[in-house]
Amino acid sequence: MTQLRVHAPAETANQLDRLRTLADRGVAADQNEPFGDQTWVELNSGNAWLITTGDDELTGASAVVIPTDANQPVVIELVVAPEARGGGLGRALVDATQELLSQQAADEQTVTAWTHGDHPAARHLAASADVEPVRILYRMAIDITSKSFGDATVPDGYRIRTFNPGDDDAAWLELNAMAFADHPEQGQLTQADLDARKAEDWFDPAGFFIAENAEGAPAGFHWTKTPVGSAAGEVYAVGVHPNTQGTGLGKALTLHGMNYLAASGLEKIVLYVDDENRPAVNLYNALGFGVENTDVMFSSNS
């Protein structure tokens, strides 16, 4: 019988190094990070439950974020070590997660779960847990073959500069909330979330670009990300103020960041975009990106 252990949020800190090792094994096998950035933030902040195998070496784990606000959805992400798959461990983790939710989540709270890579086994587990697919997220990529993807023509009345940590935080958070008002994760970022990302070893303000108008007010941004040791840079987030849509500022910011990554000696650029965001998908297709992976979010409220 599989031995599982439930770690309360205050108890997860001493599990995170082992969890990172397990996640890296999953990445090596699947080319997918099993836990999103925000899940790591919640784990590191002591805001998430963690269900693990009871072995000395983790072979599987489920991270469960249960907001105290019942209007906010539960978020579940799960990983099983490649060598331990096919033996029922995923099913045991799902069962333990459902038991945890019955004890800790509000009755009316929506439950969401991500599968990073649209694997048939993950869909089978999701169906057995009474959650259905509601959102598709593409990982798109483009190879870097030169030091420029073309001229990033900035519309008249705007200029692009780099982000100043601390000084720009509040204005950027306000702009980000407006640009991603309908986005379930990005638009909800707080100062604590931003601080957590600035503390990551990959954060570099030299790759975080702000577009401002003639009055000096932020009008858009392109935040790039290059994980330490990775050959791929990421279009981490691109957003513009709703009043600037249609001006070409979003495309200019995208190209500006892509050119920064191209000049950094990387091999390719990746990004994540929702299937429903057709203008962005069309822009990235036009720039030469292609889909290399599909993530699926499942929900109990479909």
Top-confidence residue, 253 or 31: 253
Percent of the chain with pLDDT over 70: 99
- Tell me the pTM: 0.84
pLDDT tens, residue by residue, 51-80: 999 777 899 999 999 999 999 999 999 999
**Chain position carrying tokens 């509000």:** 106
pLDDT tens, residue by residue, 120-137: 888 888 888 889 999 999
pLDDT of residue 29: 92
**Chain position carrying tokens 């089978």:** 124
Contact predicate 229/116, CB 8 Å = no
The pLDDT of residue 36 is above 70: yes
Length of the chain: 302
pLDDT tens, residue by residue, 16-25: 999 999 999 9
Percent of the chain with pLDDT over 90: 85
pLDDT of residue 173: 97
Phi and psi of 92, rounded to 5°?
-65, -40
d(CA 51, CA 174): 35
**Chain position carrying tokens 């069309």:** 282
Q: What is the mean pLDDT of the chain?
A: 93
What residue type is 99 in one-letter code? E
pLDDT of residue 72: 92
Please state, as a whole number, how many other Cβ atoms lie within 10 Å of the Cβ of residue 56.
6
- Which residue intervals of the chain bear CATH 3.40.630.30? 4-130, 141-295
pLDDT of residue 80: 94
Per-residue pLDDT band for 118 (boundaries 50, 70, 90) equals confident
pLDDT tens, residue by residue, 94-105: 999 999 999 999
Tokens, residue 182: 């309908």
pLDDT of residue 117: 85
Mean pLDDT of the 192-218 span = 96
pLDDT of residue 89: 93
pLDDT of residue 186: 87
pLDDT of residue 31: 87
d(CA 163, CA 221): 9
pLDDT of residue 176: 96
CA angle, residues 44, 50, 53, in degrees to nearest 5: 130
The pLDDT of residue 1 is above 60: no
pLDDT tens, residue by residue, 218-229: 999 999 999 999
The pLDDT of residue 250 is above 60: yes
H or E stretch including 123? helix 120-128
Please state, as a whole number, how many other Cβ atoms lie within 10 Å of the Cβ of residue 223.
22
Which homologous superfamily is 4-130 in? Gcn5-related N-acetyltransferase (GNAT) (3.40.630.30)
Tell me if the domain spanning 141-295 has CATH number 3.40.50.12780: no
- Specify the range with the lowest mean pLDDT, choosing from 26-40, 61-75, 122-136, 278-292: 122-136
Q: Residue positions in the annotated binding site? A: 37, 78-80, 185, 225, 234, 238-240, 245-251, 272, 277-282
pLDDT of residue 302: 65
Q: Residue positions in the annotated binding site for acetyl-CoA? A: 78-80, 238-240, 245-251, 277-282
Top-confidence residue, 172 or 55: 172
